Structure 1
Amino acid sequence: MPAWADAMKRQAALLFIGFSLAGSAAAQTSDLVSKSALRVCADPANFPMSTKEGTGYENRIAELVAEKLELPLQYSWYPMATGFIRNTLFAKTCDLVIAYAQGEELVLNTNHYFSSAYVLIVPKNSDLSDVTTLSDPLLKDRRIGIIAGTPPSAHMARNGLMPKAKAYNLVVDRRYESPAEDMLNDLAASDTDAAILWGPIGGPLVKSMYPDMVVIPLIAEQLPPRLFFRITMGVRQGEKVWQRELNSLIRRNQDEINAILIDAGVPLVNDLGTEVLEISK
């Protein structure tokens, strides 16, 4: 046999082995996803998003997904704090995170199923109720609640609003601490003049617990960092078959998903974060 033919034969054999190993790895990855239940990774005390009692809107979305897949719903509970993905999705105790920001490399994102923005929350009778940007002069010298380290804090610093701001912790175990509710309680007690929260947290909390407050999506800011984000579901890296199945499910049931979000009070914006699509009153 000519040397070149022998070399080609060896190369073909190596390619075959490579393809076989790749196929085996894909099969093993696919096998990690349970076929007998929808196993969801969730925080047990993260109202308004998820709770062990099933009262969050992410619980309702999980129930919808399970219904469409014709599978029973099971949860793997862990606080949405440091180690959440490592101790749930990566530990293979569950196969799906219901809400994860698009572009987050820790997980494989599905197509996004809604976009939302940070919001300014003030009392309905406040002189701040018509404010739409953090550069508004009316905010000068006001005491504003802000979750430390979140994108709006950069806008507040740029506009000189940080010296009087009241900061709340970002990463907490919601079983023991609730910064968003603490912030809104302080606003209700007039200890602060305004609050800034991620819309999918602030909107539902206001709707369910603080009816005398108004939610203003911050979609008019022109400078970075952006204050809107597209939200996806998250699966393990490499689980493309599972991702495609969820993408199809989202596409076919988008109207029902939207109805759950709107009913909960989540402010929805367009994909560019320039227009409010729906905000529950």
Structure 2
Amino acid sequence: MRVWAKSLLVIGIALCGLTAQAQTSDLVSKTAFRVCADPANAPMSDRDENGFENRLAELFAAQLELPVQYEWYPMSTGFIRNTLRANKCDVVIGYAQGHEMVLNTNHYFTSAYTLVTKRDGAIADVDTLSDARLQGLHLGVVAGSPPATHLARNGLIADARAYNLVVDRRHESPIPDMLNDLNTGEIDGALIWGPIAGPLVKADYPDLQVTPLVKETMPPRLFFRITMGVRQGEKVWQRQLNSLIRRNQTEINTILSDAGVPLINDMGTGLLELEQ
């Protein structure tokens, strides 16, 4: 009797697991590759679908033989709650590894914060924030971002110019503002997340250059692995995306590199060597 009861318990648990899995998987659209995205977050995504995340979405949709369908929402407070968790879409194309608000896929690229300078300027070859040549200079930094801590440690924060962290890009654009200030000489350098800095500089600022900060050894770290984010519990969907990432890594790298995203190795110690 005990054996029979125990068997029923095991079967019941298994059936509950299968039911939960089926219910979770049923939330993912079978008719479209539904992407949660910011409509004004160039160079990553925009409503005109010109960002590199838009091109990645097109690549994955093509592999799945589905059309891309967007749920647009500003990348600010409430983004995940009002898009992914509300079941209005099934994937966030770019999300930092380890964030608990989503279930992360395997990472598909690693990048770092960068120092953007004038190409022919006096600090064009600076690649660490401890370089003495930065003393007394005005560096732009996004308030609250990891580079701000490094500026404080190196005695650079008093002369720095802060730009807003969380904004609605439909109304405010702190990173382009920072690059424009650098271009006109109002600041001497800009500390910007590489996947934003690289494409913007490549597209619109020929006199500027982007140097990934891969030599910093003190915390906080300045490099991050980027994944796709799906709903918590969507293990089947996560595995399907992981498989697509693995099979299409060369194409992913090409899209990112062509856009100007600085790609670094997984340990954050140097530039990624791309396959020719």
Kindly indicate whether residue 117 of structure 2 is the aligned counterpart of residue 122 of structure 1: yes
| Within-5 A mapping of 1:239-258 | 239-258=234-253
| Within-5 A mapping of 1:163-202 | 163-202=158-197
Match of 2:198 among 190, 203, 210: 203
Instruction: Give, as a single letter, the amino acid of the residue that structure 2 aligns with 1:111.
Output: N
Give CA-to-partner distance per residue, 1:40-83, whole Å, 9 cap, x none: 00000000000000110100000010011100110000001111
Kindly indicate whether residue 87 of structure 2 is the aligned counterpart of residue 92 of structure 1: yes
Kindly indicate whether residue 224 of structure 2 is the aligned counterpart of residue 229 of structure 1: yes
Q: Following superposition, which runs of at least 4 residues in structure 1 exceed 4 angstroms of deviation? A: none
Kindly indicate whether residue 140 of structure 2 is the aligned counterpart of residue 140 of structure 1: no
Q: Is the partner of 2:158 in helix, strand or coil? A: coil
Instruction: Give, as a single letter, the amino acid of the residue that structure 2 aligns with 1:177.
Output: E
Kindly indicate whether residue 259 of structure 2 is the aligned counterpart of residue 264 of structure 1: yes
Kindly indicate whether residue 58 of structure 2 is the aligned counterpart of residue 63 of structure 1: yes
Name the CA distance, whole Å, in 2 between partners of 1:115 and 1:229: 6
Deviation of 1:86 (Å): 0.6
Q: Percent identity?
A: 63
Say if 1:262 and 1:278, in contact at 8 Å, map to a contact too.
no
Structure 2 unaligned spans of 5+: none
Q: Is the partner of 2:159 in helix, strand or coil? A: coil
Name the CA distance, whole Å, in 2 between partners of 1:130 and 1:186: 20
Instruction: Give, as a single letter, the amino acid of the residue that structure 2 aligns with 1:50.
Output: S
Name the CA distance, whole Å, in 2 between partners of 1:233 and 1:76: 15
Deviation of 1:18 (Å): 2.5
Name 2:73's counterpart in structure 1: 78
Deviation of 1:104 (Å): 1.1
Name 1:217's counterpart in structure 2: 212
Name the CA distance, whole Å, in 2 between partners of 1:70 and 1:160: 53
Name 1:277's counterpart in structure 2: 272
Q: Is the partner of 1:100 in helix, strand or coil? A: strand
Structure 1 unaligned spans of 5+: none
Change (3 A) 1:278 1:15: closer
Name 2:96's counterpart in structure 1: 101
Give CA-to-partner distance per residue, 1:87-106, whole Å, 9 cap, x none: 10000000011011111111
Deviation of 1:10 (Å): 3.5
Give CA-to-partner distance per residue, 1:148-195, whole Å, 9 cap, x none: 111111111000110011101111110001110011111111110100
Instruction: Give, as a single letter, the amino acid of the residue that structure 2 aligns with 1:123.
Output: K
Name 1:152's counterpart in structure 2: 147
Match of 2:27 among 26, 32, 39: 32
Instruction: Give, as a single letter, the amino acid of the residue that structure 1 aligns with 2:83.
Output: T
Deviation of 1:19 (Å): 2.2
The alignment's C-alpha RMSD in Å is 1.2
Instruction: Give, as a single letter, the amino acid of the residue that structure 1 aligns with 2:107.
Output: H
Q: Is the partner of 1:93 in helix, strand or coil? A: coil
Say if 1:90 and 1:236, in contact at 8 Å, map to a contact too.
yes
Say if 1:45 and 1:174, in contact at 8 Å, map to a contact too.
yes
Name the CA distance, whole Å, in 2 between partners of 1:15 and 1:166: 61
TM-score, normalised with respect to structure 1 = 0.95
Match of 1:17 among 3, 12, 17: 12
Say if 1:267 and 1:278, in contact at 8 Å, map to a contact too.
no
Name the CA distance, whole Å, in 1 between partners of 2:255 and 2:202: 14
